[in-house]
Structure 1
Amino acid sequence: MPLKEGDPVTIWIDIKRVYLVKLTKGKRLDTDKGFLTHDSIIGKEYGDTIKMSRGEALLLKPIPADIYTTFNRPSQVLYPKDVAYMIYISGIKPGDTIVEAGTGSGFLTISLAYAVGANGKIITYDIRQDMQDTAKFNASILNLIDRIEFKNKDIREGIDEKNVDAIFLDMPDPWNAVPRAYESLKSSSELIAFVPTVNQIEKTYLAMKNQGFIDVHAEELIMREYQVKENATRPKNIGVIHTGYIIRGRKSIKGTSL
């Protein structure tokens, strides 16, 4: 299907030059490898090759991982290895209603919006309006804004939504939001928190156990990429190894921890 104004497209020049844009008539993308206009992309299709002022580029259909290339990120963001596992282990599906705090730059928010589909809903809380403004802009590039409701509110003071399918916490003190999360979750649904330091694990884990969550786990994911060359394949010297810790558990149907 031909690309039209308003469509998102990933412009792939090489492994170090990947740009995610929303097609707008009259705009152009400038890179150190040359430029191309959005008008020249409109009418093309995903998978096409397009000439630049110097060289050429591929037009690809955006995937969630592409948001890490050029999106505005004034705050630290969760990495794909953690986001993917968190979504998988949560059991969320298209049509679900999810609560998240805090919004930050919106990278987890956007990934969740992909997962719940057009009929799902993400309600994301953050106390900083400037962060939510950044997240709104990022989500708008991918035309996902209709799936997300932004609330400039402290989740520790209460969650408006009840019987939600999962809650994700990416905040400095998730243990203080555990009681509110328990009240809002459907029975047997998952609470997932992400924290950057070890001392935050214990407070969050114990708060969840004491609140009545079951099947509680604290985990760290390690991932390394390989440099592949003939007769010289080995791990890369530089990579994202440690990012943070994931604490997860299910709301007990009877409200008792095991």
Structure 2
Amino acid sequence: MLIKVRFFKCGILQCNVVLNEGDIVTIWIDPKRVFLVKLAKGKRLDTDKGYILYDDIIGKEYGDVLKLSRATAYLLRPILEDIYLDLKRPSQVLYPKDVAYMIYSSSVEPGSVVIEAGTGSGFLTISLAHFLGKEGKVITYDVRRDMQETAKFNASVLNLQDRIEFKLKDIREGFEEKGVDAVFLDMPSPWEVVEKAYEALKPSAALIVFVPTVNQVEKTYLEMEKKGFVEIHAEELILREYKVKEGATRPKNVGITHTGYIIRGRKSIKTS
């Protein structure tokens, strides 16, 4: 019996999937040739190793292979990290190592309701929408309409747009929601909205902030202390990948080191 499901409805579980039009596939040829595509009849992917007709993929399953004129292509079920392959990214995006830790530290779960600001290209937005599931909700704010349009497009590619509410507003004026499960900030001056985030959060819920410079860390951390947050941490994550070769395994010469800083804390009940 064939189990027909779509990407993200299976979560990260392994599923036997017959690929249909509208499904998302990662096409892996080699480490330098990896493509994230959404299947549509009549379209094709052109590479320097040969072309692939999407009609030839429809009806196959994840894990199948296709022979190109000069290589073999593997049809893989996308993982979240694959969104960094071909989605639009007109702005700097958060890296998977930071996104994963931010979500883990927030203790959100399927069904949670969270706020994000700003939207940017939508990579954190998409990751949150995936983890919160179809019963959860991401409310994302930004002051730039063009960035939100990009994020909407990226979310639609992955069939996640129904889990996200986009709002065009300067959050220094305040959030419209109360009692949310977490607030995520990726903006130039997050210390200006720490109090607004406090007002929007449930007691004990987390504020998670990402900034690129230590000056921003200091201002945000101290403001969180003033405004009633506890268990505050300022952290940086370093990721180093290894080049594996028999008898000569070593770290790669190029890797992802500094990307930014994460400040996180939890809302306490203010006392007079």
TM, length-normalised to structure 1:
0.97
Post-superposition shift, 1:51? 2.4
- Alignment check: 8 A CA contact 1:97 1:166 kept: yes
Runs of 4+ in 1 over 6 A off after TM superposition: none
Q: Does the residue aligned with 1:161 lie in a helix, a strand or coil?
A: coil
Q: What is residue 26 of structure 2 aligned with on the other side?
A: 10
Distance across 1 between alignment mates of 2:141 and 2:106: 19
Alignment root-mean-square deviation, CA: 1.2
Mind listing any 5+ residue stretches in structure 1 that lack a counterpart?
Answer: none
1:185-244 Cα deviation digits (max 9, x unpaired): 011000000000010001100111100000001001111111111111111111110000
Matched, 1:147 2:163: yes
- 1:35-184 equivalences under 5 Å are 35-184=51-200
Amino acid at match of 1:149: E
Q: What is residue 253 of structure 2 aligned with on the other side?
A: 237
Amino acid at match of 2:195: P
Q: What is residue 255 of structure 1 aligned with on the other side?
A: 270
Q: Does the residue aligned with 2:256 lie in a helix, a strand or coil?
A: coil
TM, length-normalised to structure 2:
0.92
Amino acid at match of 2:55: D
Amino acid at match of 1:28: R
Mind listing any 5+ residue stretches in structure 2 that lack a counterpart?
Answer: 1-16
Distance across 1 between alignment mates of 2:253 and 2:171: 40
Query: Out of 175, 197, 201, which is 2:217 matched to?
Result: 201
Distance across 2 between alignment mates of 1:214 and 1:90: 14
1:24-73 Cα deviation digits (max 9, x unpaired): 11111111221101111111111111223432211111111001111111
Query: Out of 222, 226, 251, which is 2:242 matched to?
Result: 226
Distance across 1 between alignment mates of 2:271 and 2:163: 34
Distance across 1 between alignment mates of 2:143 and 2:258: 27
- Alignment check: 8 A CA contact 1:123 1:150 kept: yes
- Alignment check: 8 A CA contact 1:36 1:53 kept: no
Distance across 2 between alignment mates of 1:53 and 1:157: 57
Q: Does the residue aligned with 1:194 lie in a helix, a strand or coil?
A: strand
Q: How many residues were matched structurally?
A: 256
